[in-house]
Amino acid sequence: MPAPRLTGEQRRVLDWAAAARRDLPWRRTRDPWAVLVAEVMLQQTQVDRVVPRWERFLRRWPDPAGCAAATVADVLTEWSGLGYPRRARDLHGAAVRVRDHHGGTFPRHLDDLLDLPGVGPYTARAVLAFSFEEDVAVVDTNVGRVLARRAGRRLTPREAQLAADEWVPVGEGWAWNQGMLDLGALRCRPAVPECTGCPVRRTCLWARTGRPLPDPAAGSAGVSRRQAPFEGSARQARGRLMRALEAGPVPPSELSGVTGRDVAAAVVVADSLVADGLAVRAADGSLTLPR
């Protein structure tokens, strides 16, 4: 008798996922560029803030060719308010690479995707799973939490990826990965997981042993750590300077006032943007967005 295509647990997860699935606009497309833009935005920005910005970004640049033809400054300005602008610079770089190295056709092999600026193991696999519906596993902070708790211990990146890959049912890569993301976000929450009725409950070592502390998800592969406070951070000062640059050049005399830092600290902030390719310094010392 042929082996069943799905284990009982895989069926339970898929059934739960189908019922719980969040209706998110990027789940209605299989276009790899649209999926990539969504994944990059979602890396450090909450879902409800991403939805309108993702739609706006794709109205402006519906394909890599359009984005590649824009300037970095255009993309950085479009990104304004989403934070972590290196993501915008890299997205533009990815569009340029698709145009220049892949003839404008989005690559569908893992190594080619990993060569795109700003695309790491998670994002590359997300494009494969959510655009090309391949049976690869994505491990983000939500999935990483489920994997560690199910294993009852902290996992290395290799262990987490292996455990995730082995769990994907054949032919169900899209639905499975969306389901795992939802399971981590909606049920296996960081502070208070909702284990009763969880489709993974029967094999979840941490739940079966009474959820002893420390939580195995803490420090496990893929699970993000709590962010440092934004107020007073270098990130805040960089964000202020980026917003000012979107309006026009910033001369050295205005750096301190714009960033809210003393003169020496403001120069450090400015230098960090230049080093990251997010600003360029003119001969008179003023800063502008890169062209």
User: Which residues have a catalytic role annotated?
Assistant: 39
CB of 47 to ligand SF4, least distance (A): 19
Q: CB nearer to ligand SF4: give 119 or 207.
A: 207
Binding residue for ligand SF4 (CB under 6 A) from 41, 168, 200, 237? 200
Region from 56-64, 86-94, 99-107, 192-200 binding ligand SF4, contact rule CB under 6 A: 192-200
Binding residue for ligand SF4 (CB under 6 A) from 188, 241, 269, 287? 188
Assigned token pair, 278: 């997010």
Q: CB nearer to ligand SF4: give 217 or 237.
A: 217
Strand ranges (DSSP E) for the chain?
280-281, 287-288
Q: Which residues are bridge partners to 155 per DSSP?
A: none
- Side chain identity at 214, as an amino acid letter? P
Determine which helix (DSSP H) or strand (DSSP E) holds 19, and give its type and residue range.
helix 8-20
Other Cβ atoms less than 10 A from the Cβ of 177: the count is 27
Q: Check: CB of residue 259 under 8 Å from CB of residue 232.
A: no
Handedness of CA 71, 77, 80, 83 (dihedral sign): positive
Binding residue for ligand SF4 (CB under 6 A) from 149, 173, 250, 279? 149
CB of 121 to ligand SF4, least distance (A): 22
Binding residue for ligand SF4 (CB under 6 A) from 204, 241, 273, 289? 204
Closest-CA residue to 143 (of 84, 184, 89): 184
Strand ranges (DSSP E) for 24-119?
none
Region from 84-92, 135-143, 202-210, 222-230 binding ligand SF4, contact rule CB under 6 A: 202-210
Region from 78-86, 123-131, 194-202, 280-288 binding ligand SF4, contact rule CB under 6 A: 194-202
Helix orientation angle between 234-247 and 263-275, rounded to the nearest 10 degrees? 70
Distance CA 74, CA 79 (A): 9
Q: CB nearer to ligand SF4: give 13 or 241.
A: 13
Tokens 């790491």: give the residue.
120
CB of 152 to ligand SF4, least distance (A): 9
CB of 143 to ligand SF4, least distance (A): 10
Q: Check: CB of residue 199 under 8 Å from CB of residue 183.
A: yes
By the rule CB under 6 A, 206 interacts with ligand SF4: yes
Q: What are phi and psi of 281, to 5 degrees?
A: -105, 125
Binding residue for ligand SF4 (CB under 6 A) from 93, 193, 216, 239? 193
By the rule CB under 6 A, 201 interacts with ligand SF4: yes
Contact positions vs ligand SF4 (CB under 6 A): 146, 149-150, 187-188, 193-195, 198, 200-201, 204, 206-207
